[in-house]
Amino acid sequence: MDNDSGDDAVWQTALDWLMREHEETLSDADREALHAWLAASSQHRRVFREAEQLWLLTGMIPSGDERN
């Protein structure tokens, strides 16, 4: 797997988690799995934050203030 494929896989996983987090209530096990994935790599955390910012900018997900 080359670096671009690895980056694509991380982005896809981040987007999958982001969609699940905002479209459904995550179970405790799912939430733990998300936290473990984020803790596993600084790249995972960076890409997840970037994906969340992108979604916020497009208006696809509410900001933290709007979610509460």
CA dihedral 10, 13, 17, 19 (to 10 degrees): 110
Total structural domains in the chain?
1
Domain that holds residue 50: 28-59
At residue 23's C-alpha, the angle toward residues 40 and 38, to 5°, is 5
pLDDT one-digit tens code per residue, 6-28 = 789 999 999 999 999 888 889 99
pLDDT-derived band at 1 (thresholds 50, 70, 90) equals very low
Q: Is residue 43 included in any domain, yes or no?
A: yes
- For residue 68, what pLDDT is reported? 47
Q: Is residue 8 included in any domain, yes or no?
A: no
Q: How far apart are CA 55 and CA 19, in angstroms?
A: 10
Q: Is residue 11 included in any domain, yes or no?
A: no
Q: Is residue 38 included in any domain, yes or no?
A: yes
pLDDT one-digit tens code per residue, 18-61 = 999 888 889 999 999 999 999 999 999 999 999 999 888 887 66
